[in-house]
Amino acid sequence: MIYSHTLKLVFIKGRKVAGTSVEIALSTLCGPTDIVTPITPIDELERLRLGGSPRNFADDTALEQAWLETLRSTPVNQFDRLKLPQSRFRNHMPLTRVLNILGPTPEDYVVVGVERSPYSKVLSWANNKVAMSRYKIGRAMQSSRWALRRRLSRMIEDESVLAVHNLARYRDHEGRLGVRLMRHETLDADFRRLLESRGVAAPPPLPHAKMGLAATGKGPRDLLTAKQIDQINTLFADEFEAYGYPRL
């Protein structure tokens, strides 16, 4: 999550929508009083390299400095042992929680997020669960087709795929969809337009964080059965309707 007075922008981060890439790029434009929450250590290292950093996410600045010192002093092959610091502001916070803490956003602020097709989110979440331990220590986030399909079957049946159901995360206290959503499939252009509307003349490029299935060319019809597609259609019916993504 990012709350930027510099950009007059609040970024609400959904799960498995390329939110980390947006978060990294936005943080390079944030000022000293903006709120930027910590992210996965391997991604944090890349953010620091690009000139961004977490800040103002905790009441205790010593905790923030300790986290950065720990990150810089820990070998990458031990990053899987690190735990994100517990603090008032956290990654993937829902909009209502942000509003509870900080109050209504000023009229000239924009609240933004990213979304993508529920099928793609489900596939990405399963791949994440299979390959995240490798990714945390700097390896590619790609699993075997067999392992991915096995995890998919279990997660769809027990409905744990609902972890990537982001709609409630974007709603305000009145239940309205309170976030301007960028689309994963047009993210570069949407991100550039967003920043230009915030007065940023030369928006930074989006880094490619957590690349996994997108690099393999495998899609829903390659990896999901007809039954699984029907189950996803039911579990994410409100998101298909709200975001306008077509059902298979």
Count of CB atoms situated within 10 Å of the CB of 51: 11
CATH number at residue 10: 3.40.50
Count of CB atoms situated within 10 Å of the CB of 157: 12
Residue 136 in domain = yes
pLDDT of residue 132: 65
Host domain of residue 146: 2-243
Tell me the whole-structure pTM to 2 decimals. 0.91
The vertex-91 CA angle with 224 and 96, nearest 5°, equals: 95
Count of CB atoms situated within 10 Å of the CB of 152: 23
Residue 248 in domain = no
Q: How many domains does one find in the chain? A: 1
Residue 118 in domain = yes
Read off φ and ψ for residue 114, nearest 5 degrees: -135, 145
Cβ–Cβ under 8 Å, residues 128 and 16: yes
What is residue 15's DSSP assignment?
S
Name residues of the chain where pLDDT drops below 70. Answer: 132-143, 209-218
Residue 17 in domain = yes
pLDDT of residue 240: 97
Q: Name the residue with tokens 């331990």.
A: 133
**Alpha-helical segments (H) within 74-218:** 95-102, 118-135, 145-157, 167-170, 187-197
pLDDT of residue 215: 43
Residue 32 in domain = yes
